[in-house]
Structure 1
Amino acid sequence: MGFQNLHNFKIPFFILLFKIYIMTISANFLIVLLVSISTTLHTPMYFFLSHLSLCDMLFSTSIIPKMLHIVLEEGGTISLNACFIQIQIFGSCCIAECYLLTVMSYDRYVAICNPLLYSSIVDVKLCTRLVIISWMLGFLFALIACVLVGSLDFCNHNIIDHFFCDFIPVLELSCSDTSIAEMESLLVTPFILLFPFLFVFVTYVHIFFTIFGISSTTGRQKTFSTCGSHLTVVSLFYGTLLSIYYSPSRGYVLNINKFVSLFYTVFTPLFNPIIYSLRNKEIRKACYICLRVKQI
């Protein structure tokens, strides 16, 4: 059903979403490209950032193109198989991003709290393993959800009051017993959202204590600047996700939850590269070098 009763705002809203999608793909692709070709960005933090950008590109592409059609037509149809594919891709990227943000917080923790051991702890092998694990867990958890939903029976009711095939709105369409799928969601969600969020919270508590222990004001500001961008992205991403997935399931039919979902599915993938590029001198410098523009 998408967003109902847009009326005169339909075309401006469509143009806004289209521009955001183009900007999201362009900005995230630029970060992936810069990290790949710039030797100054061949560090663990930027390695994780490039995978986060790749995740955001897949994340947006799985939802926004179809959403544009739905907005323009004030509704749309999607086959059951295409719906499952959207759940799989969206779920995989969303879960992988949760773990990538967690891995990035660990990277900042070691860099700030144990700087002398950083290069020996966070090496190439560890970074590669952490990224592979993040993507694998994202794919497997999403696949389990898809298999469980795919085993259900779907009868006459086929209207989704949302702008994409999210897990719970699709689950509500089933005319068979959904208790197993709901139980799986209840058991898995803490491992996807709550525990990673708590890990990030604990690491930043240690980071803040370490920063406050630095006597120099300049040193504190310089140290905090290395994790400020990540903390901002974490706050935006986890804040919206937790507000959606720990609200009552019936809240999914409310327009307020559609707009909250719109924030983390459309705006957050755009904010990530903007936050990192605007607050990061190394990325800006690499971009200038790539474009052969001298930094003033």
Structure 2
Amino acid sequence: MKAQPYRLIGQRSASRLRAGIAPVLADWAGAWLPDTVEVQIREITALHLFMRDTASARVQKRVSWLDDNWCALLGGGDIFQRLGALLIGEHSHLQDEPSAHTSLDMEVAAGALHELMQRLLAGPDMAHDAVPSCAGTEAVPATALRPGSGAVTLRLELGATEVDLALSPATVNRYVEFEPAPASGAGKKLVAFDKALAGQRVTARVRLGTAEFTLQELASFEVGDVVTLDKDGRIDKPCALVFDGAASCGWGYIGKRQGHLAFRLTDVTHNTVN
């Protein structure tokens, strides 16, 4: 399968990812979790940063589907026992048989997590049992650990238990492209966005060059985008992207692209376009 240039996950893309995954988590929780326990996404982190900062991050299980779609369970081996205890309680009838207690915990947790990973791969529009997945303990591909790959780690909070799941760039991209249905009546008596911003332009300055954008273009900026500046030259150092004297909108690097200076975004804030 031909490789795709997946983006890093910026703030707005992370919101789309949360919106797309929310119904998947809700369906899984309804099937597996006690009524007193809720599941929520506590944090979304780029996979390469998570692996860099978490010494104990080992792949405990990996479920794959359709070439480059995969989901991996990260963390220590005790996650199955801890989640199993959450799912089926204290097992008072097994207190005299701790080995059976632990075995049951791990078996139930393994089944629940496998189904959760299947559901995440299937997405909000497919039944999880329709995904012809395969499971193993293989490490994630080296390409997913590169900065800018688009692979992310979801830290899920299930009561007092946390679960870390890594999603492949291809799987993330499918969720980022997911658009929730608009609320009933949304957009009534509102001016079209294109008309409201027509003719409005803003100038960006990056030390050695400038570029001009419409507000629509500025609002669409994502981490990983490249902006061509108006001067020739060559330089490779970090710098800030500033719009018309306002606070920095992002950080990145100036480099050379097709004979012109260009600015590649590595971090974006959208405070100037809210």
TM-score (norm 2): 0.26
> Which structure carries more relative contact order (alpha carbon 8 Å, separation 6+)?
1
Q: Which has the higher helix share?
A: 1
Q: Which has the higher strand share?
A: 2
Larger gyration radius, structure 1 or structure 2: 2
TM-score (norm 1): 0.25
